[in-house]
Structure 1
Amino acid sequence: MFRFLLFPFAVLFDLVTSIRNSLYERGYKPSASFDLPVISVGNLAVGGTGKTPMIEYLIRLLSKHYKIATLSRGYGRETSGIRIAANTDSASTIGDEPFQLYRKFGESVKVCVGEERALAIPFIIDQAEETEVILLDDSFQHRKVKPSFQVVLTDYNNLFTKDWLMPVGRLRESRRGIDRADVVVVTKCPPELGNEEMLEIEKSIRQYTSKPVFFSVIRYGDPVAINTYSKIDERVILVTGIANHKPIEDYVAKHFKLIHHFLFPDHHSYTNEDLKKITAFAEKENAMVLTTEKDAAKLDSPPFAYAYDYIPFFYLPIQSEFLKNGKDFDEMVLSVVKQHVS
């Protein structure tokens, strides 16, 4: 009933976004193109579809041969404008996901943030002249830049084909928008996903685009200690501040004894009060704290160092992997980059 009442607003939202897209497609609104390859990773829906793991996948694929820069808005940061990450930065200055990338790849990749991507890209080219490829994070609806290659993600558990426009559902624009993609990747698939179900999903996507469809899965690594503790306990307190907590919760429940899940909103800014509650509960239950890489980027900071003296804190590293035809995806990306880089 509640969704039915919101339907007129979804129709209005569709009208507004369709007009906006039409203005860009007809050239009434300009889109900037650049000489160096710009690869965009985005989605149709709000919330987590695995964009950061896909950015990391592309970094690993391309950094063997090219100098990479990543560019995102830096959601949730306390600063504004264009910034290139340095060792003085933190999640509060560049955002949790960019800081996660910086912690993982360091100076080998230029991690940049900026609200206006069309202005940030020339800044990167000027300030980091060695850059050969730019990876745009969450930029599918940012039409002011025309990427060389568009990777669009859709969560297996929340396929865009079954979703609705906001505010009825989670879509930022009509399902028809997927046709701007160069490839569609169904993310967070169960590892045991069979060919028959893949074909059914691909068939549903084919109603909106003829572009190649790939399927990927999130692989969790062994827990990594945030503090000096090295012993991994079976008893776990899970702490997450992400858009979709179900996959990691299911994984932890399957591989550990999950005592409690402290569930925070996406991009949550942790406070001392949060840490006191978490550590008090973990101490009472004699359990270790396990969190995500994204949350670890914020929790592993000097203001919270006191908590690590007596409670073991770990995070679960993740990687995106293709279930099949991953080499085809790689070749498509590499081919686009080679066309631009001499």
Structure 2
Amino acid sequence: MRRRVVFWVEEYFYNPNFIQKFLSFLLLPLSWIYCFCMYLRFKSKTAQDFGIDIISVGNLSVGGSGKTPLVTALASRYEDVAIVLRGYGRESRGLVVVSDGNKILCGVDKSGDEAMIYAHKLPNVKVIVSENRNDGVLKAKEIGAKILFLDDAYSKHDIKKLDILIDVESKNSSCLPSGPFRERLWKGKEAVVIRDGIDFKRVVELKNKSDKMSLVTAIARPQRLDSYLPEVVGKNYFEDHHSFVRDEVLNILKKDNAESVLVTYKDFVKLEQFGLPLSLLDLHVEVNEDILKIVDNYRRK
């Protein structure tokens, strides 16, 4: 049931049918109220300088945008780096140091899938999950970070930072609940807006290929993968941040008569513990030099 609701909401936000468009129209008054409240929240905040270079990468709408590979690409260029994120889908609460830049200190159940991706792909980077980003920033400074990346923190208007926003196309440009937008790019709020395919491009490498692969993925709007997919014998979509159990994946292998399960890295960090045959769609991004210079120039201020 939860999976069906999540997929319905994603369709409602990004590719609505007639009934969903009508519902969106009916909810417009609530969206106006919500958006006005978010504007008042923005105006009430004063950005605090934490004495460390902070770059936030995210998007204004709900759902996936490619921020994880983009943060990975940017963070890999520097030393003494920390990444702080909320840790969606984790079973823990509060502040958890996932990696101290030398070793991974917890499992994916306590870190969440996105934090574990960073810990795997950037072994020299400190990775911290915390619902309170301010606490995460202070912890990063305490353990020696000199530059910090915030995953999806545009709305943290009380933190002085460089905001990089990935522009996500949608047929519905309204705020919640009528549309997918959590906030607007407020007047007086500086941000660098970048576009997939223009300011950065995705590069996908297929690892451990088999002749009969079945796609299993738990990412937002999984149809985004279609243009990168090799031939597969089945497609199995789960809601974003879904916590897999071994038997459900094993049953998919049997149902699709597959030799391996094809996964993204976000799924891989949760499935590798099961000892099942995995093929990997390993995604990274190449960033336009102009964007890299913006980050470098921000550091020199």
> Do the two structures share a fold, i.e. TM-score over 0.5?
yes
Q: 2:170 maps to what in 1?
A: 158
How many Å apart are 1:92 and its aligned residue? 0.9
Rounded Cα–Cα distance in structure 2 between residues aligned with 1:52 and 1:181: 22
Contact 2:217/2:236 (8 A) holds in 1: yes
| Aligned length, in residue pairs | 276
Question: What's 1:289 paired with?
Answer: 261
Instruction: Check if 1:6 corresponds to 2:27.
Output: yes
Q: How does 1:179-190 map to 2 (within 5 A)?
A: 180-187=189-196, 189=197
TM-score by length of 2: 0.86
CA deviation profile, 1:166-209 (whole Å, cap 9, x unmatched):
111100023x438624311112x3xxxxxxxxxxxxxxxxxxxx
* Structure 1 position 318 matched with structure 2 position 283: yes
Superposition map of 1:167-206 within 5 A: 167-174=177-184, 176-177=185-186, 180-187=189-196, 189=197
Aligned equivalent of 2:18: none
Q: Distance in 2 between matches of 1:286 and 1:8?
A: 49
CA offsets 1:102-128 (integer angstroms, 9 cap, x no match): 01122x1001111111122112211x1
Structure whose alpha-carbon radius of gyration is higher: 1
Note if 1:70 corresponds to 2:92. Answer: no
In the TM superposition, 1:144-155 aligns within 5 A as: 144-147=158-161, 149-155=162-168
- Name structure 1 gaps, 5 residues minimum: 25-29, 190-213, 226-231
- Sort the Cα spacing of 1:178 and 1:261 in 2 relative to 1 into closer, same or farther, 3 A: farther
Q: TM-score, normalised by structure 1?
A: 0.76
Identity, % of aligned positions = 26
Q: Which has the higher helix share?
A: 1
Q: Is the 8 A contact 1:233 1:287 kept in 2?
A: yes
Give 1:220 deviation, angstroms: 0.4
Question: 1:217 is matched with which residue: 178, 181, 201?
Answer: 201
1:238 aligns to what SS in structure 2?
strand
Query: Does the CA-based 8 Å contact 2:83-2:149 persist in structure 1?
Result: yes
User: How far did 1:34 drift?
Assistant: 1.5
1:99 lines up with 2:116 in the alignment: yes
Q: Please say if residues 47 and 158 of structure 2, whose CA atoms lie closer than 8 Å, have aligned partners that are also in contact.
A: yes
Secondary structure of 1:291's counterpart equals strand
Residue of structure 2 equivalent to 1:195: none
Match of 2:147 among 133, 142, 148: 133
Q: Structure 2: which 5+ runs fail to align?
A: 1-21
Indicate how the Cα distance of structure 1 residues 38 and 88 shifts in structure 2: closer, same or farther if over 3 A, else same. Answer: closer
Q: Secondary structure at the match of 1:257?
A: coil
SS in 2 for 1:321: strand
Contact 2:167/2:195, CA 8 A, preserved across alignment: yes
CA-CA distance at 1:158 after TM superposition: 3.1
